[in-house]
Chain A
């Protein structure tokens, strides 16, 4: 985010929408969580300079905003990629090699679970069970479910998502 956006943001449609939301709530710390929800919905994540912008707008210390963002797991400071890879680590998938599948994604993309590639193409996440045990090991990319994935198929899978 640029310095200009940080200090004003009025030239940016997302900031305009956020400003409109902030204007509609009382300028107190009680409004912090609703504003953070709105900001994350708009921007996809809550980077530090966005937190500082919100802190100033609500007259709440930036340290407190950061405290709230890091307290609730719902809030994220990691940007999301255009595509979210979600590897199932439920029992069935796990025994059929899901761990190796995650490792293969991780190695190929150079990121750990919860991280996003620098080009913002992919975010790698993992979940316990998506109820697709018959397809184990299962991987969801965006809304697409891919079954019987093995480490060798990973590169080919990624090719489908630009």
Chain B
């Protein structure tokens, strides 16, 4: 069913149910908006997208109002233009306008819209509410003085992630977005996923800035500063420099990090491969215990790479904790190995090493500060930068990122396979684990085209795959004929559903479950360049899979540095040293 209407005298035909906003966009008319998120129900709160519709009693918010047959819409009439401008002027009257000192300067939706409208002076008396900064968590900074009450963060927190921390409190001019009676985020059930920060149009919610600390380390001649970058960074960092979503910038990223002055550029991908070894063997051990030895063992095993998921499980589903793999995240494995294995091989005192990780994530900042994460004898990860923060550092250093030549990560903890790349998106950790586990058990390659498990790819919220184990190696003969069932979920709203099923005993037939906190996985993380919608997610995922497919080695156990570290340092998967450096424990919260 299509609908015909006229927008600014231009005829347009769009499917029934299209909003006026999207109908206008389809013919090149850009209506500004501050609260709308593509693909999500708009709260219609900002009133910045008002349009005039002939015959309508009032101006209509075009992000909500749907097209109708014969509708005559005026976007550019004096009435509509003035109304939109007034909405923005009223928001500005209650906004600090301290743009030069704001982390969102030149990357702020309010600033851009005000500039596009040609607003150069405040017409209304200014009345700015002062609120104390919330610095209570490791991952996020909230400055409610800058909040424009658009409620995107509420949508992300309540509707998408269903963590239920942020909501509008009080009313009228006193309205504030907050965690209820709890003044600080740290007192709430916030898991620090940062999806609120990822959608905030202004500087009200941002990651807690580690840029100054990292510069200080780089400037200190006594410090040996080592950096490693998560799989998802290479598919998104280019966006900080105007490159289209889905640009693969792995080589440029490495070159930029060297130019920033890091002494070694390693790759978290190396320990993504290592995670597959440890987590894969942990799964095989659980299966052996359950199937061969008939022991009571927690199955399905859940992935544990994602710090937001860990916080979520500890807070909302403490009964799920025995099901979680004991593996640390790749970030924490990499950092612990840098301060032990690398330090030893390079002959550097680990106290002089500063480890910086670049993550698509705000919860990683929290993870780095967890009291357990000191197994090297020091704080394993000193500082975590988000993708956005790294982008700012590169800009500040005057590096022309787009035109950089490609570099290669340093040896020892920098080599990786395609299996590590795909940790960046939903379904990837599972696929990487299956590529190795299947081969360990059967001696043959995972029998799917291009090694992809198609049914767990893509943006569906909860996905499943199953296949029968046949022709197992003699030592795994007890698994012969077993149908392996795996489940993949992303977005905490979906994690709620999976955990409720686990608690109800409805996952008994599954063996392995992957959970990623952010919609789309890490490529849609809370620390990624703004603004991430499904089109951006798909573009980044496509980049990650093409990165994977471009590799000579695509299975974690084939990584030569992985073979080297087991031969030289760790011994075997799940061995004594692995247990100490690569595995962890969880604590129920609240």
Residues of A within 8 A of B (CB): 48, 51, 60-67, 70-71
Contacts and interface: CB of A to CB of B under 8 A. Distances in A.
24 contacts: A51-B180, A51-B181, A61-B158, A61-B165, A61-B167, A62-B180, A62-B181, A63-B164, A63-B166, A63-B169, A63-B179, A63-B180, A64-B164, A64-B167, A64-B180, A66-B169, A66-B180, A67-B167, A67-B168, A67-B169, A67-B170, A67-B180, A70-B169, A70-B171
B171 A62 contact: no
B315 interface: no
Contacts of A63: 164-167, 169, 178-180, 182, 188
A67 B158 CA distance: 13
B170 A62 contact: no
B165 A48 contact: no
Interface in B148-164: 158, 164
Given A64-B180, A65-B180, 19 more contacts: A51-B180, A51-B181, A61-B158, A61-B180, A62-B180, A62-B181, A63-B164, A63-B165, A63-B180, A63-B182, A63-B188, A64-B164, A64-B167, A66-B167, A67-B167, A67-B180, A70-B170, A71-B169, A71-B170
Q: Which of A60, A61, A62 gathers the greatest number of chain B CB atoms within 10 Å?
A: A61
Contact of A71 (B158, B165, B171, B188): B171
A14 B180 CA distance: 24
The residue among A48, A51, A60, A70 with the most chain B CB atoms within 10 A of its own CB is A70
Interface of B: 158, 164-171, 178-182, 188
Given A61-B164, A61-B167, A71-B170, A66 B158 contact: no
A52 B170 CA distance: 17
A64 B158 contact: yes
Interface centre among B164, B178, B182, B188 (most CB of A within 10 A): B164
Nearest to B188: A63
Contacts of A66: 167, 169, 180-181
B168 to A, nearest CB: 5
A48 B179 CA distance: 12
Contacts of A48: 180-181
Contacts of B170: 67, 70-71
A66 B166 CA distance: 11
Contacts of B182: 63
A51 B167 CA distance: 14
A51 B188 CA distance: 14
Nearest to B171: A71
